[in-house]
C-alpha cells in the first residue's frame, strides 16, 4: 500500500506531503534537490504516523521567494499547526537537518526528538566558490544530476528508483540549486543547542563523501543528549540505500 498524497495550505502556500500510518507523529524532512519521495518506501512503520513533506520550493509544493532554512522551518511548524500536531519527532536528511535544528532551537516545545541522517553540520556547510559553476550546470543536465545523486547513494542499486529521484530533483525551484548552497553556508546554530532536552541521534554512512564522521561528531557535541552511529557500506542517504535498517532505527528511536 502506497502512502497517501495530500496538500495543506500554510499562509497561502500549498505544501504537498505524503502520509502513512497511525500513532506518534514523525515528520520526515528531505534534503537538497529532494522531496517527500525519498521516504515513500520507508514510511510504513508500525505505531507511527509518518508525514513526509515537500519543503517549499521543492517537489510539488509551491515556490516562495526565499531559500532560508529558518523560513523553511517556519513552514514546517505552520504545517504542524494545520495538521493539529502539537509536538512531533523529526527525522531529517542532509539539508533537512538544518531545517530540523532551526525548528528545535526556535520552537523547542514542538520538537520531541530528532534523528539526523547525514545532516548539514550545526555550524553550516560551505561550498567552495569554484563549485558554483558546476552547480549551475545541474539545472540543465539530467545526466550530471543522475551521476551526482548516484554518488550520494552508492549502496542503492535500483536504477528506476534513482531515475524517480532525479525527476524529483528537477521539480525544485531553479534558484535553489545555488541558493540552497548559499543558505547552508550562512547557517550556524553553534552554541545554541545545549539547552535542548529531547534525544538526538546522528546516523552517518561510512561511504558519505559530503558529510564526514568528524563533522557529525562535532555537531553531536553541540547537544546534551546525542548519539552517533556510523553505518558501514552506506553513503549519504540511508533511507534509500538501506531502507529496512532505516525503518528499524526510526522505530527503535521512537519507542
Would you list the domain boundaries of the chain? 4-253
What ranges in 139-212 are assigned the alpha helix state H? 142-152, 159-169, 176-186
Rounded average pLDDT over 141-170: 97
Percent of the chain scored above 70 by pLDDT? 100
- Does the pLDDT value for residue 44 go beyond 60? yes
Rounded average pLDDT over 81-96: 98
Q: What is the pLDDT of residue 126?
A: 97
Q: What is the pLDDT of residue 225?
A: 86
Q: What is the pLDDT of residue 1?
A: 57
Q: pTM of this prediction?
A: 0.97
- Does the pLDDT value for residue 149 go beyond 90? yes
CA distance linking residue 216 with residue 13, whole number of Å: 33
Phi, psi of 200 (to 5 degrees): -135, 130
Listing from the earlier edge strand, what are the strands of the sheet with 13-20? 4-10, 13-20, 48-53, 24-29, 88-93, 111-117, 200-205, 226-231
CA distance linking residue 21 with residue 218, whole number of Å: 34
pLDDT in tens, 184-197: 999 999 999 999 99
Q: What is the pLDDT of residue 2?
A: 72
pLDDT in tens, 23-42: 999 999 999 999 999 999 99
Percent of the chain scored above 90 by pLDDT? 98
The CATH fold assigned to 4-253 is Rossmann fold (3.40.50)
Amino acid at each position: 500500500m502506497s502512502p497517501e498524497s495530500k496538500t495543506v495550505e500554510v499562509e497561502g502556500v500549498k505544501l504537498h506531503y505524503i502520509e502513512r500510518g497511525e500513532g506518534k507523529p514523525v515528520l520526515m524532512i528531505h534534503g537538497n534537490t529532494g522531496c517527500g519521495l525519498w521516504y515513500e518506501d520507508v514510511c510504513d512503520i508500525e505505531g507511527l504516523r509518518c508525514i513526509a513533506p515537500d519543503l517549499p520550493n521543492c517537489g510539488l509544493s509551491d515556490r516562495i521567494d526565499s531559500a532560508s532554512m529558518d523560513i523553511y522551518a517556519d513552514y514546517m511548524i505552520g504545517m504542524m499547526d494545520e495538521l493539529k500536531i502539537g509536538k512531533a519527532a523529526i527525522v531529517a536528511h542532509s539539508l533537512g537537518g538544518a531545517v530540523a535544528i532551526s525548528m528545535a532551537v526556535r520552537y523547542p516545545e514542538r520538537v520531541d526528538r530528532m534523528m539526523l541522517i547525514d545532516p548539514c553540520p550545526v555550524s553550516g556547510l560551505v561550498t567552495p566558490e569554484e563549485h558554483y559553476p558546476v552547480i549551475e550546470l545541474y539545472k540543465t543536465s539530467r545526466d550530471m544530476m543522475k551521476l551526482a545523486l548516484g554518488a550520494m547513494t552508492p549502496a542503492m542499486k535500483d536504477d528506476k528508483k534513482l531515475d524517480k529521484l532525479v525527476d524529483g530533483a528537477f521539480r525544485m525551484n531553479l534558484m535553489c540549486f545555488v541558493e540552497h548552497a548559499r543558505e547552508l553556508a550562512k547557517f550556524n546554530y553553534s552554541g545554541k543547542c545545549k539547552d535542548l532536552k529531547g534525544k538526538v541521534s546522528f546516523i552517518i554512512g561510512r561511504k558519505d563523501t559530503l558529510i564526514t564522521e568528524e563533522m557529525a561528531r562535532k555537531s553531536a557535541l553541540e547537544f546534551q543528549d546525542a548519539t552517533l552511529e556510523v553505518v558501514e557500506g552506506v553513503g549519504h542517504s540511508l533511507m534509500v540505500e538501506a531502507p529496512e535498517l532505516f525503518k528499524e532505527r526510526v522505530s527503535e528511536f521512537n519507542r
